[in-house]
A and B are shown apart, each in its own frame.
Chain A
Amino acid sequence: MFGFQSLRSSVCRGALIVAVLTVSSSYAQDYALMGISGVVGAAAAMLEQGNYSGAIPALEEVIRRTKELTSAQGRETLQNSRFQLARAHYQIGDTAAGRVLLKDYLKNEPHPEERMALRMIAQGHLEAQEWEEVATIAQQLLNMPQLAVDDRLTANLLLGQARFRQEAWVDCIEPLSFTAENSKSARTRQLTQIMIVRAMVESEQWRALFGWIPRLYRTDAKYDITLNLTLMRAGKALFDAGESDDYLNSLLLYRMVLPREELLEFSQERVDRLSASIAKDTQRGVKQIDIDDQQEELDSLKASMAILKELTPYEDEVAFRIGQIYAEVKRYWEGYVLFDSLYEKDRNSDVGEASVLQSVLILYELGESERAEKRVISYLNENPAGQYARSLLSMAMRDQMNKQNLEKVISLRQYIERIPPSNEDGELAVAADLHYVLAFGFFQNKQYELAGEQFSVIIDSFLDSSFLADSVYFRGITSMLQEKYEDAVEDFRLYQTNHNTGEQYAPAMFREAVCLFGLGEFEESETVFTKFINKHPDNILVSEAFSMRGDIEAAKDGNDNPDTLSIDEYDPHTLDRALEDYRKAIDKAYAPQQAAYAAFQAAKVYKLEAKWQDIIDLMDYYMELLESEADVAQAVFWIGQSQIEMGQVEDAVEAYLDAVERFGNEVGQEGVDKIVLELVKISEQHLSEEDLQSLAVKLSLKLDGIEGDENETLRLRLRVAIAHLEGEEAAAALGDELLADHQDLSITTPISLALMCNSAVMAGDTEQMGLLYTYFLENFEESEELWHAYRAKSFQLVFSEDTQGVLNSIDEVQSLFGIEPFMGWAQILKADTLYGLEKYQEAEEAYNMVMGVSDWRGALFAEAMYGMGRCRLALEDYEIAHSFFQRTYLLMKGYDDGIWAADGYLGAVDCLIRLDRYEDVVSTLEAMMEDPYVNTLPQIETARELKKKYRDA
Chain B
Amino acid sequence: MKKTILSLTLAAGLLTGCFAQTSPLPVELLMGNGRSWKGNLIRRDGDWIEFQTKTAVRPIRIGASTVKELKFKVDVDADKISKMMEARQFNRIITTLSKSIEPFSEYSDISSNLTKYNALLMELYHRTGKYDNSLAISEEIARDNRNPLLQAKAQTYQALSLIESGKSEDVRALFAEYGWQQETSKEASPEELYIKAKLLVLNGQYSQAMELVARIVAFNSQDPDWMQPAEMLCAEVYTELGMYDSAEEVCRQILILYKNTPEFDKAKKLKIKIEKLRAEKQVEESLMSEEV
B207, B211, B246: the one contacting A337 at CB < 8 Å is B211
A337→B214 contact, CB < 8 A: yes
Given A217-B224, A336-B214; A341-B259 close (CB under 8 Å): no
Q: What chain A residues lie within 8 Å of B259 (beta carbons)?
A: 211
A residues contacting the other copy or chain, number (CB 8 A): 29
Within 8 A of A (CB), among B26-54: none
Expressed in whole angstroms, the Cα–Cα distance for A853 and B221 within the complex equals 82
8 residue pairs of the A-B complex, CB under 8 angstroms, read A207-B256, A210-B257, A214-B228, A252-B256, A256-B221, A258-B222, A337-B214, A338-B218
Given A210-B257, A252-B256, A368-B207; A217-B222 close (CB under 8 Å): yes
Expressed in whole angstroms, the Cα–Cα distance for A369 and B228 within the complex equals 30
A331→B249 contact, CB < 8 A: yes
Digit string of B247-272 for contact with A (CB within 8 Å is 1, else 0)?
A: 00110110011110000000000000
B224→A331 contact, CB < 8 A: no
* B210 contacts partner chain A, Cβ-Cβ < 8 Å: yes
A331→B234 contact, CB < 8 A: yes
A214→B257 contact, CB < 8 A: yes
A330→B219 contact, CB < 8 A: no
Q: Shortest CB–CB separation between residue B166 and chain A, in angstroms?
A: 24
Q: What chain A residues lie within 8 Å of B211 (beta carbons)?
A: 333, 336-337
* B25 contacts partner chain A, Cβ-Cβ < 8 Å: no
Q: Which of A214, A256, A344 has the most chain B CB atoms inside 10 A of its CB?
A: A214
Given A331-B249, A336-B211; A252-B257 close (CB under 8 Å): yes
Expressed in whole angstroms, the Cα–Cα distance for A369 and B43 within the complex equals 68
Instruction: Find the B residue at minimum CB distance from A336.
Output: B214
* A329 contacts partner chain B, Cβ-Cβ < 8 Å: yes
A210, A322, A333, A341: the one contacting B186 at CB < 8 Å is A341
* A218 contacts partner chain B, Cβ-Cβ < 8 Å: yes
Expressed in whole angstroms, the Cα–Cα distance for A207 and B252 within the complex equals 12
Within 8 A of B (CB), among A298-349: 322-323, 326, 329-334, 336-338, 341, 344
- 3 tightest A-B contacts by CB? A333-B214, A255-B221, A330-B246
B222→A334 contact, CB < 8 A: no
* B84 contacts partner chain A, Cβ-Cβ < 8 Å: no
B249→A337 contact, CB < 8 A: no
* B217 contacts partner chain A, Cβ-Cβ < 8 Å: yes
Q: Shortest CB–CB separation between residue A272 and chain B, in angstroms?
A: 23
Expressed in whole angstroms, the Cα–Cα distance for A252 and B254 within the complex equals 11
Instruction: Find the A residue at minimum CB distance from B245.
Output: A330
Expressed in whole angstroms, the Cα–Cα distance for A307 and B258 within the complex equals 33
* A271 contacts partner chain B, Cβ-Cβ < 8 Å: no
Instruction: Find the A residue at minimum CB distance from B248.
Output: A330
Digit string of B210-231 for contact with A (CB within 8 Å is 1, else 0)?
A: 1101110111011110001000
Q: What chain B residues lie within 8 Å of A332 (beta carbons)?
A: 243, 246
Q: What chain A residues lie within 8 Å of B258 (beta carbons)?
A: 214
Given A322-B218, A341-B186; A333-B249 close (CB under 8 Å): no
Q: What chain B residues lie within 8 Å of A229 (beta carbons)?
A: none
A211, A256, A323, A368: the one contacting B222 at CB < 8 Å is A256
Q: What chain B residues lie within 8 Å of A248 (beta carbons)?
A: 252-253, 256
Digit string of B191-222 for contact with A (CB within 8 Å is 1, else 0)?
A: 00000000000000001001101110111011
Q: Shortest CB–CB separation between residue A61 and chain B, in angstroms?
A: 52
B257→A331 contact, CB < 8 A: no
Expressed in whole angstroms, the Cα–Cα distance for A330 and B221 within the complex equals 18
Expressed in whole angstroms, the Cα–Cα distance for A377 and B253 within the complex equals 36
B234→A334 contact, CB < 8 A: yes
Instruction: Find the B residue at minimum CB distance from A223.
Output: B222
A333→B253 contact, CB < 8 A: no
Q: What interface size band does chain B fall in?
A: 20 to 34
Within 8 A of B (CB), among A211-233: 211, 213-214, 217-218, 222
A334→B257 contact, CB < 8 A: no
B186, B218, B228, B243: the one contacting A326 at CB < 8 Å is B218
Q: What chain A residues lie within 8 Å of B252 (beta carbons)?
A: 248
Q: Shortest CB–CB separation between residue B168 and chain A, in angstroms?
A: 23
Q: What chain A residues lie within 8 Å of B219 (beta carbons)?
A: 337-338, 341
Q: What chain B residues lie within 8 Å of A368 (beta carbons)?
A: 207
Q: What chain B residues lie within 8 Å of A338 (beta carbons)?
A: 218-219
Q: Shortest CB–CB separation between residue B27 and chain A, in angstroms?
A: 30
* A937 contacts partner chain B, Cβ-Cβ < 8 Å: no
Expressed in whole angstroms, the Cα–Cα distance for A222 and B221 within the complex equals 12
Where the two chains meet, the residues of B that have a C-beta atom closer than 8 Å to any C-beta of A are 186, 207, 210-211, 213-215, 217-219, 221-224, 228, 234, 243, 245-246, 249-250, 252-253, 256-259
Q: What chain A residues lie within 8 Å of B256 (beta carbons)?
A: 207, 210, 248, 252
Expressed in whole angstroms, the Cα–Cα distance for A211 and B264 within the complex equals 12
* A1 contacts partner chain B, Cβ-Cβ < 8 Å: no
Q: Shortest CB–CB separation between residue A245 and chain B, in angstroms?
A: 10
Q: Which of A218, A337, A338, A366 has the most chain B CB atoms inside 10 A of its CB?
A: A337
Q: Shortest CB–CB separation between residue A252 and chain B, in angstroms?
A: 7
Given A214-B224, A217-B224; A252-B253 close (CB under 8 Å): yes
Expressed in whole angstroms, the Cα–Cα distance for A471 and B35 within the complex equals 92
Expressed in whole angstroms, the Cα–Cα distance for A4 and B172 within the complex equals 59
Expressed in whole angstroms, the Cα–Cα distance for A738 and B211 within the complex equals 51
Expressed in whole angstroms, the Cα–Cα distance for A333 and B197 within the complex equals 13
B210→A333 contact, CB < 8 A: yes
A334→B243 contact, CB < 8 A: no
Q: What chain B residues lie within 8 Å of A333 (beta carbons)?
A: 210-211, 213-214, 234
Expressed in whole angstroms, the Cα–Cα distance for A366 and B237 within the complex equals 13
Expressed in whole angstroms, the Cα–Cα distance for A848 and B27 within the complex equals 115
B217→A334 contact, CB < 8 A: yes
Q: What chain B residues lie within 8 Å of A344 (beta carbons)?
A: 186
Expressed in whole angstroms, the Cα–Cα distance for A338 and B243 within the complex equals 19
Q: Shortest CB–CB separation between residue A208 and chain B, in angstroms?
A: 11
Expressed in whole angstroms, the Cα–Cα distance for A175 and B34 within the complex equals 50
Expressed in whole angstroms, the Cα–Cα distance for A214 and B243 within the complex equals 27
Q: What chain B residues lie within 8 Å of A255 (beta carbons)?
A: 221-222
Expressed in whole angstroms, the Cα–Cα distance for A341 and B249 within the complex equals 23
B222→A222 contact, CB < 8 A: yes
Expressed in whole angstroms, the Cα–Cα distance for A217 and B221 within the complex equals 10
Q: What chain B residues lie within 8 Å of A213 (beta carbons)?
A: 257
Expressed in whole angstroms, the Cα–Cα distance for A329 and B250 within the complex equals 9
A210, A323, A366: the one contacting B207 at CB < 8 Å is A366
Instruction: Find the A residue at minimum CB distance from B214.
Output: A333
Q: What chain B residues lie within 8 Å of A256 (beta carbons)?
A: 221-222
Q: Shortest CB–CB separation between residue A480 and chain B, in angstroms?
A: 33
Given A217-B224, A256-B221, A341-B219; A334-B253 close (CB under 8 Å): no
A334→B218 contact, CB < 8 A: yes
A330→B222 contact, CB < 8 A: no
Q: Shortest CB–CB separation between residue B217 and chain A, in angstroms?
A: 5
Instruction: Find the B residue at minimum CB distance from A334.
Output: B214
Q: What chain A residues lie within 8 Å of B257 (beta carbons)?
A: 210, 213-214, 252
Q: Shortest CB–CB separation between residue A884 and chain B, in angstroms?
A: 60
Q: Shortest CB–CB separation between residue A696 and chain B, in angstroms?
A: 39
Instruction: Find the A residue at minimum CB distance from B209.
Output: A333
Q: What chain A residues lie within 8 Å of B228 (beta carbons)?
A: 214
Given A258-B222, A341-B186, A366-B207; A330-B214 close (CB under 8 Å): no
Expressed in whole angstroms, the Cα–Cα distance for A214 and B215 within the complex equals 19
Within 8 A of B (CB), among A149-195: none
Q: What chain B residues lie within 8 Å of A217 (beta carbons)?
A: 222-224
Expressed in whole angstroms, the Cα–Cα distance for A636 and B224 within the complex equals 77
A330→B224 contact, CB < 8 A: no
Q: Shortest CB–CB separation between residue A431 and chain B, in angstroms?
A: 33
Within 8 A of B (CB), among A333-374: 333-334, 336-338, 341, 344, 366, 368
A323, A330, A337: the one contacting B243 at CB < 8 Å is A330
Expressed in whole angstroms, the Cα–Cα distance for A422 and B221 within the complex equals 41
Q: Shortest CB–CB separation between residue B152 and chain A, in angstroms?
A: 19
Digit string of A358-396 for contact with B (CB within 8 Å is 1, else 0)?
A: 000000001010000000000000000000000000000
Expressed in whole angstroms, the Cα–Cα distance for A336 and B243 within the complex equals 15
Expressed in whole angstroms, the Cα–Cα distance for A214 and B222 within the complex equals 8
Expressed in whole angstroms, the Cα–Cα distance for A332 and B257 within the complex equals 20
Expressed in whole angstroms, the Cα–Cα distance for A322 and B218 within the complex equals 8
Q: Shortest CB–CB separation between residue A342 and chain B, in angstroms?
A: 11
